Structure 1
């Protein structure tokens, strides 16, 4: 049996928080609320949540800053709630580590579906290769991906990745030297129909490289840009 997921809903509008909470609790999720960015950070850093629904525009500490500061400590999946005219802010959200976004006004049922999809992907990435049960660790020079532990190490040091960054790395790494177009990565890594643009892929690749490079320049160099096409995972040496 799957454990009950814990979800934090962050929005400065009481009406939105209560509506989203109502629909999520109907799915038997445990839901907590935060009315501003400071309260959200206190809760998110001191407790463990399976998903955080985070409003982008809030007075004081906004969603971008909350996500940025959260990512310094944790990889909790984040879905950003944004208004229609905030496309530039959404791109900025991806740059600081948002996993998905939902545009206001939204259907509460859409929120539930997005949360379910993100929870499903987060759990599935722990056991991605059920067909090759004897091979649950992928080892490259400078980089190891432990599928069962959902853990990435570069030159022996652990790299903290969000679920989406982990999925992107795994998707590239499971087919070394194969070139993937941005369109294919957007479709396959995000899985369900996703109304994003190709910059979503670019910002995630950028963040993934930055995190790897802090630990191992050699590991970061394995993610190669193929200009005009997309990206590939390149293994040099053995």
Structure 2
């Protein structure tokens, strides 16, 4: 796995790089947001560990720009610990968010969980009907290319958003609690799960629902969780 490590503190960068190399991962490292964007555009990167307080271009802007052309998984690492900062990071398209100070082994565990999730998504798609359509074809999901179309127009989803949609549509009508979705989507359980899943749902609704305030696909079951409210109408293998 090719990891891009974007971190401005040399000591933290050296420790993380050492652990990453010990896991057998290749590492590109920089403390500069502008250089990070150049590398992402010029090299195959499998995962990005991104600090927000970096030189050149701030981490939030780096994340925003990446999401304009790439779905590469992003784990944000930052000293910004307010809930609003976490929500903002997820809104920008981050797949996970870790606050400083952190334990290096936790970062490694989060990366392994994200990698398992990516591998599971790939394996699921190999054994799943390629295209599923819902609501008279207004929503279609291509599990071969990981693409989603709304009214014939392709919408850009992050890895996390696509996995979330894939989980919900795999068993339409099933109610998933937030903790269930955290495990299915992130590969681990977290006691502070509510806002993270809610924000991913909110972002996903904004992309696939005609009116996110009155969703017809991803429905909230108060006190229980979420469910997908349409059965698949057409499947093409």
CA distance in 2, matches of 1:221, 1:87: 28
- Which runs of structure 2 are paired with 1:28-67 in the superposition (5 Å)? 28-59=24-55, 61-67=57-63
Deviation at 1:32, TM superposition (A): 0.3
**1:181 is aligned to 2:177:** yes
Structure 1's 135 and 47: CA in aligned 2 closer, same or farther, altered over 3 A? Answer: same
CA distance in 1, matches of 2:44, 2:88: 24
- Which runs of structure 2 are paired with 1:12-31 in the superposition (5 Å)? 12-31=8-27
Structure 1's 237 and 110: CA in aligned 2 closer, same or farther, altered over 3 A? Answer: closer
Structure 1's 223 and 13: CA in aligned 2 closer, same or farther, altered over 3 A? Answer: same
Structure 1's 27 and 222: CA in aligned 2 closer, same or farther, altered over 3 A? Answer: same
CA distance in 2, matches of 1:203, 1:152: 19
CA distance in 2, matches of 1:92, 1:60: 20
- Answer yes or no: is the 8 Å Cα contact 2:177–2:225 preserved in 1: yes
Give the aligned CA root-mean-square deviation in angstroms.
Answer: 2.6
**1:139 is aligned to 2:133:** yes
Q: Count the aligned residue pairs.
A: 229
CA distance in 1, matches of 2:128, 2:161: 24
Q: Which residue does the alignment assign to 1:95?
A: 91
Structure 1's 237 and 34: CA in aligned 2 closer, same or farther, altered over 3 A? Answer: closer
Q: Which residue does the alignment assign to 1:117?
A: 113
**1:199 is aligned to 2:189:** no
Q: Which residue does the alignment assign to 1:160?
A: 156
**1:234 is aligned to 2:229:** yes
Q: Which residue does the alignment assign to 1:9?
A: 5
- Answer yes or no: is the 8 Å Cα contact 2:33–2:56 preserved in 1: yes
Structure 1's 113 and 197: CA in aligned 2 closer, same or farther, altered over 3 A? Answer: closer
- Answer yes or no: is the 8 Å Cα contact 2:140–2:149 preserved in 1: yes
Q: Which residue does the alignment assign to 2:81?
A: 85
SS of equivalent to 1:85: coil
Structure 1 residues without counterparts, runs of 5 or longer: none
1:222 is matched with which residue: 217, 223, 235?
217
Q: TM-score, normalised by structure 1?
A: 0.83
CA displacement 1:89-121 (0-9 Å, x = unmatched):
122101111111223222323222221221221
CA distance in 2, matches of 1:65, 1:10: 13
Structure 1's 207 and 48: CA in aligned 2 closer, same or farther, altered over 3 A? Answer: farther
SS of equivalent to 1:180: coil
- Answer yes or no: is the 8 Å Cα contact 1:126–1:150 preserved in 2: no
CA displacement 1:12-55 (0-9 Å, x = unmatched):
11121122111111222111012122222222233331110001
- Answer yes or no: is the 8 Å Cα contact 2:2–2:47 preserved in 1: yes
Structure 2 residues without counterparts, runs of 5 or longer: none
